[in-house]
Amino acid sequence: MSINLPKIIGHRGVKDLAPENTIFAINEAIKHKLEWIEIDVKISKDNIPFLLHDDLLNRTTSGTGYPYQYNYEVIKNLDAGTWFDPKFNYLYPPTLKEVLDICSNKKIGVNIELKPNKKKEKDNAEAISHLFKKNNFHCQYFFSSFDLFSIKLIRNLMPNVFLGYLIDNYKDTKNFLQILENCLKLKCFCMGFNIKLINQEIVKICKDNKLKVTVYANKKIRLIEAQELWSLGVDSIFIDDPNSFV
């Protein structure tokens, strides 16, 4: 089995059109005919995997502090929409299970980015693997992370799943080749790069090693930049607003 990555993946749902990592953002992605979405996942105090990008609850919810301080029952009652627009005050941080059920029903692929809080890497990977053992999700999915430890944990817990390693930086080509070696050892099928790291040489090295290439950015990637990335051989680009791509 293999994964055919689409040219565009909705970033945190579609983060420029809706409060990121909410059900509304995922439904917006589906409405805009995106075939895949990306979400960020960490755990609550009672080890429920749910969607949140930051280490803290503060920026995108009405809560404060670290998510592992609260049971999911508390997190579920937080407002995850008002920071974006008060009309979204009814939105909450959904569980990974809810999102996988939607993706299964709608046949949407999902890139689950593991974003554990520090020291919660093991609990996070175990909770996610447990969820997949208990349920039979029908959507395509793959895991990714900037955190090599999380990648290793998932590889041990779920030997056959698709894994991608995300990279925000590397020192030089030698350092990149070491990272690549780790990736291959862990049987990653893909590497995800910050847009600032991408060039023809990097894409070629990945392709020569049969790795797919994804690209993300901290700001919106424009269509003209995306076209250049695709022409280099990049497989998928995380986009914030699909409107500029139609």
Binding partner selected for residue 20 from ligand G3P, Mg ion, none, CB under the kind-specific 5 to 8 Å limit: none
Among 28, 35, 40, 121, indicate the residue that binds ligand G3P (CB under 6 A): 40
d(CA 230, CA 234): 5
**CA R_g for the chain:** 17
d(CA 176, CA 125): 25
Q: Residues of 185-203 as b/e, b for ≥16 C-beta within 10 angstroms?
A: eeebbbbbbbbeebeeebb
Q: How far is the CB of 228 from Mg ion (least distance, A)?
A: 22
Segment near Mg ion (CB under 5 A), from 37-45, 61-69, 99-107, 153-161? 37-45
d(CA 240, CA 237): 10
**Token pair in block for residue 123:** 């609990």
Q: How far is the CB of 144 from ligand G3P (least distance, A)?
A: 6
Any contact of residue 38 with ligand G3P (CB under 6 A)?
A: yes
Any contact of residue 141 with ligand G3P (CB under 6 A)?
A: no
**Token pair in block for residue 50:** 């749910």
Any contact of residue 113 with Mg ion (CB under 5 A)?
A: yes
Nearer to ligand G3P, 63 or 164 (CB): 164
* Binding-site ranges for Mg ion (CB under 5 A): 40, 113
* Binding-site ranges for ligand G3P (CB under 6 A): 11, 38, 40, 53, 113, 144, 166, 192, 216, 238
